[in-house]
């Protein structure tokens, strides 16, 4: 009876190394080949979220060409600094908060040369993750037109509910300024808001089991609005 070939340790290691090398090459090639498409999808998702909070789309039914055409037709973008001054040599779409902490992107919905709404990126720490989103204000720079949280790692069914329309729709129509014109933002409360609650115009219902996620959003949303306040003051001065 013929003896079976003996598989040596060096053969096993060599085979494993060869498989690993081939897989690495395939993965690296796939990542390189798909990078442009991945970058495009990221840009499309960002522009969809901007269009969404500005009230220009309600679903993902548009194809990429339609979405880009709608964005180019209705949205203008620019950059301001922390003093509210226009920064002419930078594009809003290229601003990274980590690399450009002193530069603030602004996206506006416009028609017939008039600004109908303002959209601002906002992000910060929640319970488990960095939450990224956009908030849009009506042209009074006080009333919330819409809000979205499009990137996060919060717990599904709890903090993860921040991305759901039932939650974000509660922000619409709320105001960010108090009677003295100071920014109070919109606060997520613990539990449900009572009909006779104080500051109801600045408050939305919280998510059960997600109190810390709500506190994180409250903190960074107000911080975002305060950063933009010098620019807001300039615009309000022109409008008055």
Q: Tell which phi-psi region holds residue 75, choosing left (phi > 0), alpha (psi between -120 and 50) or beta.
A: beta
Beta-carbon contacts of 84 under 8 Å, excluding residues fewer than 6 positions away, are 230, 231, 232, 233, 234
pLDDT digits 0-9 by tens, 144-192 = 999 999 999 999 999 999 999 999 999 999 999 999 999 999 999 998 8
The average pLDDT across 38-52 equals 87
pTM score: 0.82
pLDDT at 214 over 60: yes
Helix (H) or strand (E) holding 131: strand 130-138
- Of all helices (H) and strands (E), which one includes residue 134? strand 130-138
Q: Where are the domains of the chain?
A: 76-239
Predicted local confidence at residue 169, as pLDDT: 95
Single out the residue of 213, 47, 232, 48 nearest to residue 143, CA to CA.
232
d(CA 167, CA 147) in angstroms, rounded, equals 10
Residue 117's pLDDT band (boundaries 50, 70, 90)?
very high
Chain centre distance of CA 36: 21
């Amino acid at each position: 009876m013929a003896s079976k070939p003996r598989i040596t340790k060096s053969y096993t290691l060599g085979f494993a190394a060869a498989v690993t090398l081939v897989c690495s090459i395939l993965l690296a090639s796939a990542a390189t080949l798909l990078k442009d498409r991945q970058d495009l999808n990221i840009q499309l998702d960002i522009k969809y979220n901007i269009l969404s909070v500005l009230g220009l789309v309600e679903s993902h039914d548009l194809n990429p060409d339609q979405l880009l055409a709608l964005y180019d037709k209705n949205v203008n973008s620019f950059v301001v600094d922390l003093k509210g001054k226009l920064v002419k040599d930078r594009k809003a779409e290229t601003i990274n908060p980590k690399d450009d902490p002193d530069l603030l992107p602004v996206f506006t919905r416009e028609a017939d040369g008039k600004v109908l709404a303002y959209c601002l990126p906002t992000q910060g720490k929640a319970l488990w993750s960095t939450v990224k989103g956009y908030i849009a204000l009506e042209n009074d720079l006080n009333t919330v037109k819409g809000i979205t949280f499009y990137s996060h790692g919060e717990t599904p069914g709890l903090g993860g509910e921040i991305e759901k329309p039932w939650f974000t729709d509660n922000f619409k129509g709320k105001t960010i300024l108090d009677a003295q014109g100071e920014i109070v933002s919109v606060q997520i409360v613990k539990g449900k808001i009572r009909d006779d609650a104080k500051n109801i115009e600045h408050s939305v219902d919280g998510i059960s089991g997600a109190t810390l996620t709500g506190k994180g959003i409250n903190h960074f949303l107000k911080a975002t609005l305060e950063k933009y306040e010098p620019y807001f003051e300039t615009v309000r001065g022109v409008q008055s």
